[in-house]
Amino acid sequence: QVQLVESGGGLVQPGGSLRLSCVASGSIFRIYTMAWYRQAPGKQRELVALITSGDTTKYRDSVKGRFTISRDNAKNTVYLQMNSLKPEDTAVYLCNAIVDVRSSWGQGTQVTVSS
């Protein structure tokens, strides 16, 4: 059993920054790709960014240049640094990780960008 726990969400003004963290715990042999998704009310879940075990990263176009994904393998943690936040970034942000042979999800953390 693997648990993913996100933290770092909150309310921020447009142009502000937040740093999300997601820690994996439990029965873990190896973590492969880690990713951040988001889901806004009434919208489909969408991939925000991912990072492979070889540190290759990929971003959706709307966050390129503003968001940075990184990982600390010693801590089984993935981060999402979000700068220059916009109201359209408002969503629940969910962590996903491929742990051994399974895809695991966190419960999500709310990010609200509003003045």
pLDDT of residue 47: 98
pLDDT in tens, 100-109: 989 999 999 9
Q: What is the mean pLDDT of residues 50-78?
A: 97
Give 28-49 pLDDT, tens digit per residue.
889 999 999 999 999 999 999 9
CB burial of residue 26 (10 Å; 0-12, 13-18, 19+): exposed
- Specify burial of residue 50 (Cβ count, 10 A radius: 0-12, 13-18, 19+): buried
According to the model, what pLDDT value does residue 27 have? Answer: 87
Hey, how many other C-beta atoms are within 10 angstroms of the C-beta on 64?
A: 10
Mean pLDDT of the chain: 96
Q: What is the pLDDT of residues 67-101, one digit of tens each?
A: 999 999 999 999 999 999 999 999 999 999 999 98
Output the pLDDT for position 1: 86
